[in-house]
Each structure stands twice: as structure tokens, then as C-alpha cells.
A and B are shown apart, each in its own frame.
Chain A
């Protein structure tokens, strides 16, 4: 599963290699972060749009992966996204709050609903949890259609144009948020919190024996995951400017959230980031080669099926495995024969 879970303490050479790998990863991360923040500032509208979508997908992927790390597979991440979008939009339109301020309640509502979901689904595991999240997002979609006084109903709502910041700024905010999210996920991965989550995922009863209180961790994980996803939704609405129930609680968002980690490598730090970028690249390529918007979901479906069947550890896992298989230095012929 996770490479950090090797049973033996690493040998000195391996430790040095690991350290080097960590440094390389850190440099790559910094480069990606710098590129993500500067590109929308200097590039044209196309670059802005691209970075915005990449950032959003990465945030969603990391958020989904955080929940998946604790064994909570969500099939309703559009719940958080939609709630965040609606909150930001309504706060802006009703109270006249500007961009940045509106994001605080947007993230808060996601965290609140996430922890609420953790409490009410208390005993639900695996499939049941997945089905519950699916029902929640569809249920919220129906509610937002049926409460036109609040949400504008199926006709939708426009955000107050006077308050809208330049698209550039929204894109920068998105990529900064993606960078911060990755940082949070990284810092978390070194805390006991992460190990408790992993223990819960592998065997909840055993983790209870070790003194982990699953409910507390579920609440914390879903609050964090939900808060992050709805923050992304809240930022995004300032870019698109228009919201209706089918956009807010779109199944597309749920799929985007899960496809990044699965394609990139579930339960890893780099996986969701790689997968998120790969998702955007693939969707762009499919748009160029196949035209039409309708194909992107078809392509996502194929990716989902193919990665689960042939690449259960994703791109990142496959890369690691390739790296591990390649001999580091020339091995004497005789030794190689014996080894194989």
C-alpha cells in the first residue's frame, strides 16, 4: 500500500535515497506552486481558465482522498461543492460581502455539513456510506430546485456583478488554495491523525482496540474534507458567476473528485495532484481530438474503468513500482541470474 509502511527501518543508503526523493518532490511541488500562481497573472484568458480548472480539480481530488484515507468513499462530493457555491453566492448577493470574505462561510458550511454527515452516518461503512453521500447530494439538488425563493430554483441565480473580482484573481486564489490544500495534506500525513485514519481504513475494530475513537476521527476527516471541497466550490462561483441546482450539485463534480485520486494513486500524497493534472490534460486532449463536450464524461468513465482494473495504485503507484524494479547500479551478471 503506502511506501512509508515498510516494516523494517530503512537502510542508510535507502534512507539517503528516500531523503533525496523527498527533496525532489519538494522542489517539484514548489515549481508547480510557483507556476500555478504566476501563470494566471501573466497568461491570457485561456491560461486563466486552465489554471482555474486544474486548481479546482486538484483541491477536489485532495479533499476526496483525505476522506478515502479514512476508508470513507464519497460518491457525493458535489454536496460540498454545491453548498459552498450557494453559500458564497447568497452571502455576496444578500449581504454584499466581497470575494475573500464570502469564502469563510462557504468553507464553514462544508465543514459543518461534513461533520454532520459523519455524526448521522455514524455506523455506516463502505457501500452504505457511499450510497448515503450519493443520496445527500441528489436530495440537496431537489431541495434547491424546490426552494426558488432562496436559491432561484431551476432558473438559477447570477452573482452580484459589481462585486466580482477579475477572473485572474479568482484563478490565483484557486491555485493558492490548491497549494495550501496540498500543504495541509502533507503536514497531516506526518501526524498521528493520519496513522489513525489509515488504521481505521484497514480495520476499524482493531483501531478501536488501539484506542482510536472512530467517530471523532470521522468527524474531523469529513469536516476537513467537506470544508476544503466547499471552499473550492465557493471560489469557483466567483469565476462562473451563475449557479443553478444542476450546476451546483452536478454529478460531474462528484466524478471529477474521485477520478483524480484513482487515476493518480489513491491514498498517496502525490497521487491526487498528479491525477488532477492528468485529468485536465486528458479532458483537454479529448476536447481537441474528439471535439464536443459530451465526450469528456465518456473519457472519464473509460479512465475510471481502466485504472481500477489495470492500475489500482494509479500513475504514482505505477511509477514507483517501475522505479523500484530498475536496478540502481549495474548488477553482476551472475547475481542478476540468481535474483531472477
Chain B
């Protein structure tokens, strides 16, 4: 029984981190209809940002979070202006390959600048845990869950309550109608792309004290985010949140109950991704998206 409860707690805490990770990708896709194949690299940049703030300036990742998010959003803005802006109407395949190439550049620049060594940030709460009877609740994961919840709440507030958020949703629903309403679509795209990068960076900053930071960490995060977003339905934030908890639960259950489960858990995302694509490409909640 306690093993079941422990599994549940772990799933929920992991689900929080996954929600934040996938919401960024989902937002970017929902608005721009471009799958950001460089998303994993924004996560990686966020993780390195937090790492360097912590080691060089001694700033805790939670305090440097806004700084890191702004910085990575700036990088993504430059990428948008340099590359993506002129590719907005190009075939989806070209956009994918473009972002794939951008990700490759960022990844290998990081490998060259900061070497391929695995690093991680040590904070006072990295290794401590609360113990409730038999249950073991790591503090770092609880903090990560809370940060994710706050950021997602802020995002939802922004999307629903501010003028620009409403404009963003309008563009996501119908680009042409939004243009007719006088919304500057390119600016909305730019802001959404930057926000998707900022959310990725926030994920990375949190991950910096939970996982190891390497230049190539982004790719696995990207595929997991894909699995979540596709599972929930492309372009649906509610679906993405549901997908994140489903994947987190599935991974935790496999890790707990399958022999050699920790290794196999790494493969759950791919099985989920392939399975959903084959059985129900629109996901749990998402609308039917037709992409040629």
C-alpha cells in the first residue's frame, strides 16, 4: 500500500515538471503551428543559465529563474528574427528542418563552449527530503512542482485576462480572422515563440538541481515533450497537462513494477508517442489538426 502511495506521489511530482516542460512546446505550436524542434535546446540553455548563475555568482536557481527565462527568451527572439520570420509561410517540412538545424547548432555550440561534462547545481534542498511514515518526499521535487504550478497559473492568467493573451488566443484559433481584427500576427508569433523558449528555460532551470546538465540533455526532453503534447492533443493546453500526468504516471509505474524498470521507463515516452500517433493522432483533447 505504501509502495502504491509512494508511486502516486512520485508520479504527481514528476507530472508537475513534465507539465511545465510540455506546456511551452504546446503553446508555441498552438499559436504558430510550427513544431519547435529546437525546444530541447532552450531547456538546455535554461539549465546552463541556472548552473552558471549558481556557480559563478552564487545565485540560487529559484532566484535566477526570471533572469534565465528572460535571457533565453532573448536568444529565441534573435533566432526568430534571423531565421524563422521569413519562413512563416514556408512548407511545414522546411520549418521543421530549419529548427532541427538550429537546435543542432545550439547543442554543439554548448558542447564546444562548455564541454560535454555532466554538471548539476547543488542547492540546500537538492538532497533533503520529508519523511511521512514510510513515504519519502524529496524537497527538490516539491519545489519544482510548486514553481511549475505557479508558472502555468501565470501563463493561463496571461492568456485569459490580458489583452495580448487574448490576441494570442485569437491568432491560435484563426490566423486570418485575427489579421482582419487588426492583430499584428508576426508580433504575436514572436512573443509566443519567446514565451515557449522562456518556459523551456524555466524547465531547464528547475531540472538543473534535479537532473544532470549536459549539452545533449535537450533531445530527450524534446521527445518526451512531443509525446506529452501529442498524447494530450496538439495545441490544447488542458490536454497537455493531462498528457504530462499520464506520461509521468506511466513512467513511474514502469520504474516501480517492471524488472529493470528504471531503464525501460526511458522508453515509455516513445511507446506512448508511437501508440498515440497510430491509434488517435489527435490525442486526448486536441482538435483535429490537418497538416499536409
**A123 interfacial by beta-carbon distance below 8 Å:** yes
Selecting from B59-67, B87-95, B164-172, B201-209, the interface stretch reads B87-95
Q: A73-B96, A127-B291, A131-B35 are in contact. Are A301 and B104 (CB under 8 A)?
A: yes
**A107 interfacial by beta-carbon distance below 8 Å:** no
Among A132, A292, A304, point to the contact of B274 (Cβ < 8 A).
A132
Let me know if A138 and B270 touch, CB within 8 A.
yes
Among A120, A134, A297, A304, point to the contact of B223 (Cβ < 8 A).
A134
**B250 interfacial by beta-carbon distance below 8 Å:** no
Q: How many B residues touch the partner, as a band?
A: 35 or more
Let me know if B102 and A305 touch, CB within 8 A.
yes
Let me know if A297 and B104 touch, CB within 8 A.
yes
The interface residues of chain B lying within 8 Å CB-to-CB of A305 are 83, 98, 101-102, 105
CB distance from A45 to the nearest CB of B (A): 28
Let me know if B277 and A132 touch, CB within 8 A.
yes
Assembly CA distance A309 to B94 (angstroms): 9
**A26 interfacial by beta-carbon distance below 8 Å:** no
Let me know if A312 and B270 touch, CB within 8 A.
no
Let me know if A304 and B270 touch, CB within 8 A.
no
Assembly CA distance A302 to B100 (angstroms): 10
Assembly CA distance A136 to B267 (angstroms): 10
Let me know if B219 and A251 touch, CB within 8 A.
yes
Per-position binary interface string of chain B over residues 101-140, scored 1 when its CB falls under 8 Å from any chain A CB and 0 otherwise: 1111101110110001000000000000000000000000
6 A-B pairs with least C-beta separation: A304-B101, A301-B104, A139-B270, A142-B267, A301-B105, A298-B108
Residues on A lying within 8 angstroms of B by beta carbon are: 73, 75, 120-128, 130-132, 134-136, 138-139, 142-143, 145-146, 204, 251, 255, 258, 262, 292, 294-295, 297-298, 300-305, 308-309, 312
18 contacts between A and B (CB under 8 A): A75-B96, A75-B100, A127-B35, A128-B291, A134-B223, A135-B227, A135-B274, A138-B220, A142-B266, A292-B112, A295-B108, A298-B109, A300-B104, A301-B105, A302-B105, A305-B98, A305-B102, A308-B101
